[in-house]
Amino acid sequence: MKFSLVAALVVVLAVAHGTEAVSLVKRDVQADVDKITKIINDMSASITTATQDMVEKVKALEVTNTAQTYMEDSRAKIQPLVEKVQAEAAKLQEQVKPFIANIEDQIKPLTDNFNTQVRPLTDNFHAQVKPLTDMMEKFFQQVMDQTKALMPPQ
């Protein structure tokens, strides 16, 4: 009888515990479902943001690549023209060299002649002005000395 009583008590406790456990499981499942739903929503938002960022970066990269391609194409189109202009400039410079040398050869005697004619004039002018400048220098020195003499000592 004691055994039956103990067995019955264990069965009652087990049933009570099972009922309580089912009740807890129902509550935990709902909380877990809410948590999982929140996590999935957060992940979805994060993936959406990351995808939008990636799309913007890809678009920016495409714009950069398009600009780079445009620059390279433009450079490829302009390069032959630049080379042609440089070649023509070099040819023109070679053609002008003799002309410039000829002008220099013609002007050199004129400048030499001018120097030989002007040199005596400048020397003569200097010889005439030198005594005047010396006299003015002496005059200004006398004025300075007299002015210093008139000033009271300090």
Q: What is the pTM of this model?
A: 0.34
Q: Report how far apart, in Å, the C-alpha atoms of 94 and of each of 12, 65, 84, 99, 103 are.
A: 119, 43, 15, 10, 15
Give the pLDDT of the chain (154 residues) as one tens digit per residue: 555 555 555 565 666 555 555 544 455 677 778 888 888 888 888 888 888 988 888 888 888 888 888 888 888 888 888 898 888 888 888 888 888 888 888 888 888 888 888 888 888 989 998 998 999 999 999 989 888 888 777 6
